[in-house]
Amino acid sequence: MKSSNSSDPESSEKRKGRHKSTQPVIYEQQVKEKSRRKVQARAEGDRSIWSGLGLFGMVGWSVTMPTLAGVALGMWIDRRFPSSYSWTLMGLFVGIVLGCWSAWYWMQREQQR
Average pLDDT over residues 94-109: 91
Q: What digits encode the pLDDT tens for the residues 28-46?
A: 888 888 888 888 776 666 5
Reported as a pLDDT band with limits 50, 70 and 90, residue 47 is: low
Computed over every residue of the chain, the mean pLDDT equals 80
Residues in contact with 19: Cβ distance below 8 Å, sequence separation at least 6, in sequence order: 13
Confidence of residue 14 (pLDDT cuts 50, 70, 90): low
Nearest alpha carbon to residue 92 among 68, 64, 59: 68
Contact (CB, 8 A) for 78 and 30: no
pLDDT at 27 over 70: yes
Please state the pTM of the whole predicted model: 0.54
- Distance between CA 81 and CA 78 in Å, rounded? 5
pLDDT above 90: residue 108: no
